[in-house]
Structure 1
């Protein structure tokens, strides 16, 4: 039994299992993509974002 037969029997044989696999994969991809793009954005804009410069402008009252 090869890898493709195992994957077919585990995931693609039943529609409900395949739909669940698609939903879980889409959720995992979305979370990963969001974290990676946020990380890249913060790295490119380091020193320009409010959380990096707010100490200069906030005053203690």
Structure 2
């Protein structure tokens, strides 16, 4: 059996399994996208954010 046949039989054949796969994939994509965009924002604004300059103002 080919890879596409295996994927079809295990995920796409039943609607409930397909819906569960969509929900799971959405969860992991959202989490990965959130972490990636937050990392990029922190790198682009390094030295400008409060967490980077807080030590200058604490006594």
- Report the TM-score, using the length of structure 2 for normalisation: 0.96
> Number of matched residues?
59
The 5 Å alignment of 1:1-61 reads 1-59=1-59
Runs of 4+ in 1 over 2 A off after TM superposition: none
Shift of residue 58 of structure 1?
A: 1.8
Q: Residue deviations 1:34-60, cap 9 Å, x none? A: 00000000001000000010111122x
- Root-mean-square deviation (CA, aligned residues, Å) is 0.6
Higher Cα radius of gyration? 1
The alignment partner of 2:47 has SS state of coil
Task: Give the TM-score of the pair, scaled to structure 1.
Answer: 0.93
Give ranges in structure 1 of 5+ residues lacking alignment.
none
| Structure 2 residue ranges without an equivalent (≥5) | none
